[in-house]
């Protein structure tokens, strides 16, 4: 359903894609357009917000009406100006500890000024468009912060529930707990426990009963009982209505530094809680996403107004927001109306509020505090290796204070990230058998931080022992490369060989002269076998009596067994008894053409036929070609046949040289084989359409011949006694390709011309 006001905003800074925006000339939905859904939802949210606001005010040590002022302002101001269409704002449990400390240190009037100033900071953050930056907080720190707040609330409100007074800190409340239990006021404790029992049992009641919000039902029911059976328990007290509770803020009398830190603390916590709540609410509905910067503007405006009127700090509240979504709200009108209902009730029925016992609100807050401590969060932090960050943050929030606890948690989370990112995995593996080399595996970010470990591991390789270094780096700096090269030279001086293999996203040679940087991941499944060999170890015709090429093949097989065999095994398990390729791929024998690489295919995908010049014949003169075509079409029932030529083809060079009378002396067999490709040269000279198209795009005469040859081999497939009928009936399709080695791009060859399959490839001039 469309959301008023938000859908017209282009949320370039929103955290997720926006909903559908109204087109030009489309009027925005009016305030009343979704009233049928928003009005009942606003009443439900109001009934939930009323007792929660009273309880949070009591827990914060603020005037009770300050909670209702904040609820009304949060609904009306933040609901109107914020960037989240369905989020509901008001006083939140997450700031109770901070506000209680401010009231104790500065007094209520100065706390109101701090709230207003925090709103100004939030407003500036929103205008500065840094809404996204406020989300750059580790979730585990936020979860631990909320759990720490929950524990603090519980330790505080237990004293109130037992009929006593809470101390200033969680530690003091914990140490004073035995005395509070000894001096329990029975009526107060029973009333508070009754609220806890109702709230815990509420979810098990019939759905018809649960239509009434549990907190409201518990507070009303137990308050009614208290009037009858415990008239003497301590209750909420204030004078006048919500308008009489309005109080102007005052500036602090000195200690400006502490006041300034308090402003930053309130602004940051309120912003983070509001934005995280907005993101969570967005996941509950399918409408417009939150504009995070606009949400900060709305929250800042609400805190400015709340602070100036004597209200608590305002944040987005997940409990009320979730209730709003579940109640069927369709737009921000619901949040605004909920604020109106709070204002009306506080003005007309303030006397009813004074009937609520303090222990009843304490029972409500105990349940709220307990819900902030989630076992699922602890399990998640354990699974993800963040339990240390969670535990330290929680303990510091409880023992120290909220700001220091969060700062320590964020610092520890950052250190953990640095440790995980900068820590390089470097291990030396002894030979698995006689004649095999030592293996040194290096993975991760290779920087100077890893040099001590690198040198220790490298020097654990015995002198004179051959070694293979497997480098799988996503970052490599000059210092790391220099240390590795120095050891490589030193180890070779002992008579051993050192082979460097690269498997990561960063090239080893790039670290020599370039600024180190992280590279994008590269998927390159089949690199040339010799690409990782040092130039001194590259196979040549004269090396080692011809044994070095064999040695390099064996090294490649060793690398395959070490790095790829286990990954390939699952891919070939279903192919052990049979094969079912969908394509016969006819390619040249040229070593630079890799059919599986250029088609992104794997084992069992391609049946490959390779010969000099990627030719076929239709006259039955070559049994190997005929048998391959018959096996592919009749036995394996392939769907397609591909003829793939390539640039700078040696066979095409020989055809051109043969036409010029200078054919290479490679024997009678080679000369007779060229007969399959000589018609292609005649077609080139006759101006074949493929040749003309290739010439227009700047391809050389040699490459034009390769493309024409592909086109003629496709025609031969149509004339072949096996493939011809299959092509004519549509059971098999034939495709021509040309692989341009210089650009590593594949071109489609048709009887009429050529077409670049890579759309980013510019046409040749």
Interval 311-328: pLDDT, tens:
999 999 877 787 778 767
H-only helix segments in 577-639: 595-598, 623-630
74 closest CA partner among 40, 109, 133, 119:
119
> Helix 292-309 vs helix 256-282: angle between axes, to the nearest 10 degrees?
130
Provide Rg for the chain, Cα atoms. Answer: 38
pLDDT value of position 72: 94
Per-residue pLDDT, averaged over 443-472, amounts to 88
Between CA 226 and CA 219 the distance in angstroms is 10
DSSP state of 1: -
Between CA 722 and CA 622 the distance in angstroms is 14
pLDDT at 276 over 80: no
Three-class SS state of 52: helix
User: Among 129-133, 439-443, 630-634, 696-700, whose mean pLDDT is lowest?
Assistant: 129-133
Write phi, then psi, for 648 (nearest 5 degrees).
Answer: 50, 45
Of all residues in the chain, the percent with pLDDT exceeding 70 is 84
Residues 130-156: tens digit of each pLDDT: 767 666 777 888 788 878 878 887 888
pLDDT value of position 512: 58
Higher pLDDT, 663 or 756: 756
Higher pLDDT, 539 or 152: 152
Residues 95-128: tens digit of each pLDDT: 888 898 899 889 999 999 999 999 999 999 999 8
User: Among 128-142, 571-585, 631-645, whose mean pLDDT is lowest?
Assistant: 128-142
Between CA 362 and CA 57 the distance in angstroms is 11
DSSP state of 426: E
Between CA 259 and CA 261 the distance in angstroms is 5
pLDDT at 21 over 80: no
Higher pLDDT, 109 or 525: 109
pLDDT tier at 733, thresholds 50, 70, 90 = very high
CATH of domain 426-524: 3.30.750.24
Higher pLDDT, 521 or 724: 724
Between CA 746 and CA 755 the distance in angstroms is 9
Q: Where are the domains of the chain?
A: 36-391, 426-524, 578-756
What are the tokens at 125?
């953050």
pLDDT at 84 over 60: yes
Of all residues in the chain, the percent with pLDDT exceeding 90 is 32
Write phi, then psi, for 7 (nearest 5 degrees).
Answer: -65, -20
pLDDT value of position 19: 39
pLDDT at 627 over 80: yes
Let me know: does 476 contact 450? Beta carbons within 8 Å. Answer: no
Between CA 111 and CA 61 the distance in angstroms is 11
Q: Spell out the residues 6+ positions from residue 638 whose beta carbon is closer than 8 angstroms to its own.
A: 581, 582, 583, 584, 607, 632, 732
Let me know: does 261 contact 403? Beta carbons within 8 Å. Answer: yes
Between CA 364 and CA 362 the distance in angstroms is 5
Between CA 661 and CA 717 the distance in angstroms is 30
pLDDT value of position 209: 83
Between CA 364 and CA 380 the distance in angstroms is 27
Between CA 746 and CA 748 the distance in angstroms is 7
CA neighbours closer than 13 Å in the CB half-sphere of residue 98: 32
Write phi, then psi, for 334 (nearest 5 degrees).
Answer: -60, -45
Three-class SS state of 88: coil
pLDDT value of position 239: 64
488 closest CA partner among 515, 468, 511, 517:
468
What is the per-residue burial (b if ≥16 Cβ within 10 Å, else e) of 648-685?
ebebbebbeebeeeebeeeeeeeeebbebbebbbebbe
What are the tokens at 195?
């609220």
Let me know: does 327 contact 44? Beta carbons within 8 Å. Answer: yes
pLDDT at 504 over 70: no
Per-residue pLDDT, averaged over 615-627, amounts to 81
Residues 657-695: tens digit of each pLDDT: 888 877 666 666 677 787 888 899 999 999 999 999 999
Per-residue pLDDT, averaged over 452-470, amounts to 90
Three-class SS state of 468: strand
Let me know: does 458 contact 467? Beta carbons within 8 Å. Answer: no
Homologous superfamily, domain 578-756:
Carbonic anhydrase (3.40.1050.10)
pLDDT tier at 628, thresholds 50, 70, 90 = very high
Per-residue pLDDT, averaged over 484-501, amounts to 89
pLDDT tier at 501, thresholds 50, 70, 90 = confident
Higher pLDDT, 421 or 261: 261
DSSP 340-384: HHHHHHHHH-HHHHTTSBHHHHHHHHHHHHHHTS-HHHHHHHHHT
DSSP state of 235: B
pLDDT tier at 725, thresholds 50, 70, 90 = very high
pLDDT value of position 549: 54
Higher pLDDT, 295 or 533: 295
pLDDT value of position 763: 46
Between CA 533 and CA 499 the distance in angstroms is 6
Average pLDDT in the chain: 82
pTM of the model: 0.60
- Distance between terminal CA atoms of the chain? 53
Let me know: does 122 contact 271? Beta carbons within 8 Å. Answer: yes
């Amino acid at each position: 359903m469309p959301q008023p006001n938000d859908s017209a905003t282009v949320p370039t800074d929103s955290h997720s894609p926006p909903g559908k925006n109204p087109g030009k000339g489309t009027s925005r939905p009016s305030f009343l357009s979704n009233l049928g859904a928003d009005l009942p939802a606003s009443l439900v949210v109001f009934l939930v917000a009323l007792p929660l606001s009273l309880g949070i005010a009591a827990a914060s040590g603020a005037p009770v009406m300050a909670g209702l002022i904040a609820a009304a302002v949060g609904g009306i101001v933040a609901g109107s100006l914020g960037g989240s269409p369905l989020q509901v704002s008001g006083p939140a449990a997450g700031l109770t500890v901070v506000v209680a400390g401010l009231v104790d240190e500065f007094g209520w009037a100065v706390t109101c000024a701090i709230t207003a100033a925090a709103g100004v900071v939030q407003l500036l953050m929103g205008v500065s468009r840094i809404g996204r930056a406020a989300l750059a907080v580790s979730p585990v720190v936020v979860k631990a912060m909320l759990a720490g707040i929950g524990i603090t609330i519980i330790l505080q409100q237990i004293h109130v529930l037992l009929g006593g007074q809470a101390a200033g800190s969680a530690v003091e409340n914990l140490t004073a707990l035995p005395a509070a239990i000894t001096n329990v006021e029975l009526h107060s404790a029973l009333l508070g426990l009754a609220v806890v029992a109702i709230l815990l049992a509420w979810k098990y009641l019939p759905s018809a009963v649960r239509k009434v919000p549990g907190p409201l039902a518990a507070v009303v029911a137990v308050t009614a009982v208290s009037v009858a059976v415990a008239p003497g328990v301590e209750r909420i007290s204030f004078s006048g209505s919500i308008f009489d509770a309005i109080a102007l803020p005052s500036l602090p009398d000195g200690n400006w530094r502490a006041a300034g830190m308090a402003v930053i603390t309130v602004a940051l916590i309120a912003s983070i809680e509001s934005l995280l709540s907005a993101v969570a609410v967005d996941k509950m509905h399918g409408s417009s996403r939150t504009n995070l910067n606009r949400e900060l503007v709305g929250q800042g405006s609400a805190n400015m107004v709340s602070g100036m009127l004597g209200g608590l700090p305002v944040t987005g509240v997940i409990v009320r927001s979730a209730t709003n979504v579940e109640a069927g709200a369709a737009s921000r009108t619901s949040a605004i109306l909920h604020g109106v209902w709070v204002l009306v009730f506080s003005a007309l029925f303030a006397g009813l509020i004074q009937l609520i016992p303090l222990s009843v609100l304490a029972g409500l807050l105990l349940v709220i505090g307990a819900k902030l401590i989630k076992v699922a969060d602890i399990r998640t932090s354990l699974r993800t290796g963040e339990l240390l960050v969670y535990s330290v943050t929680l303990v510091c929030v409880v023992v120290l204070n909220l700001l220091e606890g969060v700062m320590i948690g964020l610092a520890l989370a950052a250190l953990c990230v640095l440790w995980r990112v900068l820590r390089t995995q470097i291990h030396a593996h002894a030979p698995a058998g006689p004649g095999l080399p030592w293996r040194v595996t290096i993975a991760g970010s290779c920087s100077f931080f890893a040099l001590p470990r690198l040198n220790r591991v490298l020097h654990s390789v015995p002198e004179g022992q051959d070694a293979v270094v497997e480098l799988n780096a996503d970052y490599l700096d000059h210092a790391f490369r220099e240390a590795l090269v120095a050891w490589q030279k030193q180890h070779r001086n002992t008579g051993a060989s050192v082979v460097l293999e690269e498997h990561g996203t960063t090239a080893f040679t790039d670290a020599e002269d370039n600024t180190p940087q992280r590279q994008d991941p590269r998927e390159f499944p089949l690199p040339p076998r010799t690409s990782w060999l040092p130039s001194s170890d590259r196979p040549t015709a004269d090396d080692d009596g011809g044994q070095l090429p064999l040695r390099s093949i064996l090294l490649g097989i060793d690398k395959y067994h070490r790095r790829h065999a286990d990954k390939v095994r699952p891919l070939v398990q279903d192919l052990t008894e049979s094969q079912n390729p969908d394509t016969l791929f006819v390619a040249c024998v040229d070593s630079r053409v890799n059919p599986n690489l250029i088609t992104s295919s794997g084992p069992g995908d391609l049946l490959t036929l390779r010969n000099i010049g990627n030719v076929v014949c239709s006259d039955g003169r070559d049994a190997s070609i005929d048998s391959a075509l018959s096996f592919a079409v009749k036995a394996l029932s392939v769907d397609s046949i591909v003829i793939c030529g390539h640039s700078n083809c040696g066979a095409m060079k020989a055809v051109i040289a043969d036409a010029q009378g200078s054919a290479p002396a490679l024997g009678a067999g080679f000369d007779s084989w060229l007969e399959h490709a000589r018609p292609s040269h005649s077609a080139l000279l006759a101006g074949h359409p493929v040749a003309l198209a290739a010439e227009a795009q700047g391809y050389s005469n040699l490459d034009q011949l390769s493309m024409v040859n592909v086109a003629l081999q496709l025609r031969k497939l149509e004339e072949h006694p096996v493939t011809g009928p299959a092509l004519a009936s549509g059971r098999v399709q034939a495709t021509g390709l040309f692989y341009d080695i210089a650009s590593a791009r594949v071109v489609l060859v048709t009887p009429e011309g050529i077409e670049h399959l890579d759309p980013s490839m510019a046409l040749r001039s």
